[in-house]
Amino acid sequence: MPDLYPYQTTGVTFLAGRGTGLLADEQGLGKTAQAIAAVDRVGAKSILVICPASACINWQRELTRWLSDPRAVEIRVVSYDKARGSQKKGLMEQCWDVLILDEVHFLKSWKAKRTQTVYGALCDGDGGLVSRAKYIWALSGTPAPNDVTELWPMMRALFPESLATEREAPMGLWDFRRRFTTGFQTKYGYKVTGGKNLDELKERLAPHMLRRKTEDVLPDLPPIRYGEVTLTSKDLPEGLREAEAGFEGDVIREALAAGKLPGPSAVVATSTLRRLTGLTKVDPVIDLVTYELNEGEGKIVLFAHHREVINQLNWGLAGFNPCLLHGGLPEDQRQKAVDSFQEDPSARVFIGQLTAAGTAITLTAASSVLFVEYSWTPSDNQQAAKRCHRIGQESSVLVRFVSLAGSLDEQIARVVRDKTETLSKVIS
């Protein structure tokens, strides 16, 4: 078994010493290795890992690499989608020594079927996979990507004592919202605008969580820097101009005027504008990447959202043997794309869909990241950028947000970049 860093040994002791725990180290600090070493520490004979689909094969490899005797342990690695679908019945029929919930923020919504499969219909553990395990360890560098209410399902299911009230019963979701958030009701549901009593919330969660920052435990890791690239297009498509001038543009301008980013409910409302903006950026991005790679840049990672944008980038950069990872690929092809980019010198471009490639993979072969399209949730971008800025990276990492000159994209990219950079400097 490979050696652990001293801080990782501390993480192993933390997990092994409790039945349930949240390891919330920043991305790239080796949460996988710590969890597997803790499996050895407690002498587990059966392990169930539930993780994003893109991470399944890597988890199988890492378990073989880090366990002292993999042949002596029953191992199951299942994606969140399969855990709530085709494999749910079989998983519930067995008891597990250890259940590992990788990227546990995938269970942030109490309404989601995968959350109810793992935590139970009421997020109280009853009837969920958590009721079938002796040890339950949650892993995530961003356990609450958008607001603190996303902590409630995990706290209710894994640490109910952390939600104790004067009535002794664990705090329900609405009580949690009233105590720790500010917000208002909309036709889309409750809209969180801020937090309150956060010191109390941290105190409640602290006994169950261990979090370390990169700069504190790996001071020699090269720095990560953030920037912006504003590109020009020969002509803004007429459809894009119309979308910016109409309702979709108004949604963005209203949010920016209030110093905020558009909320989740605006994603659908502005979908046409976002798709047209992404497509308009494709040609100038291809020109930029081609120039930089021809001028000596080793490898580069591109993130986008729309499949159409990803496909056009792939075609335009075909000469650099691009590796693609998007939600439509099966697990083995996802891992093959990562392996090729990491190991093949001729594979100089990685094109990843934010939702599929933004977590649980390692892309340290590159030190340059371009967000052709980006999430309006800053933590999503931070997670994606950390695919390159993690253990094994030997160069400083430059993360750039691509915007389109003369469009609303230019304004919102600047806000997203600033918020993402700020998020990377503070503890959630």
pLDDT given at position 424: 53
pLDDT given at position 216: 87
Please list the residues that pair with 226 across neighbouring strands. Answer: 399
pLDDT given at position 2: 63
pLDDT given at position 266: 76
Same CATH topology for 6-213 and 221-423? yes
- Measured distance CA(92)–CA(127) in Å, rounded: 9
Identify the helix (H) or strand (E) that includes residue 226: strand 224-231
Q: Where are the beta strands (DSSP E) in 110-223?
A: 133-139, 181-186, 189-195, 209-210
pLDDT given at position 95: 96
**CATH top-level class for 6-213?**
alpha beta
- Measured distance CA(274)–CA(159) in Å, rounded: 39
Written as tens digits, the pLDDT of the chain (428 aa) is 568 889 999 999 999 999 999 999 988 889 999 999 999 999 999 999 999 988 898 899 899 888 999 999 999 999 999 999 989 999 999 999 999 999 999 999 999 999 999 999 999 999 999 999 999 999 998 898 878 899 999 999 999 999 998 777 899 999 999 999 888 877 767 777 778 898 999 999 999 999 998 888 888 888 888 888 888 766 677 788 788 888 888 888 888 877 677 776 677 778 888 899 999 999 999 999 999 999 888 999 999 999 999 999 999 999 999 999 999 998 889 999 999 999 999 999 999 999 899 888 999 999 999 999 998 888 888 889 999 999 889 899 999 999 888 788 888 888 877 777 665 553 33
- Measured distance CA(208)–CA(284) in Å, rounded: 48
pLDDT given at position 279: 93
Task: Give me 100's structure tokens.
Answer: 């590992």
- Measured distance CA(124)–CA(131) in Å, rounded: 10
CA distance from start to end of the chain: 32
**Which of 66, 80, 139, 79 lies closest to 109, judged by CA?**
80
Task: Give me 267's structure tokens.
Answer: 């994603």
Q: In residues, how long is the chain?
A: 428
Q: Are 77 and 64 in contact (CB under 8 A)?
A: no
**427, exposed or middle or buried, with CB in 10 Å at 0-12, 13-18, 19+?**
exposed
Q: 221-423: which CATH number, 2.40.110.10, 3.40.50.20, 3.40.50.300, 3.40.640.10?
A: 3.40.50.300
Q: Are 59 and 49 in contact (CB under 8 A)?
A: yes
Residue with tokens 């009593």: 197
Pairing of strands 189-195, 133-139: unpaired
The structural domains of the chain, with segments of one domain joined by +, span 6-213, 221-423
pLDDT given at position 426: 37
pLDDT given at position 427: 35
- Measured distance CA(121)–CA(173) in Å, rounded: 13
pTM higher than 0.75 for the full model?
A: no
- Measured distance CA(128)–CA(51) in Å, rounded: 16
- Measured distance CA(254)–CA(261) in Å, rounded: 9
**DSSP state, 91?**
H
CA 255, 256, 262: angle at the middle one, nearest 5?
Answer: 40
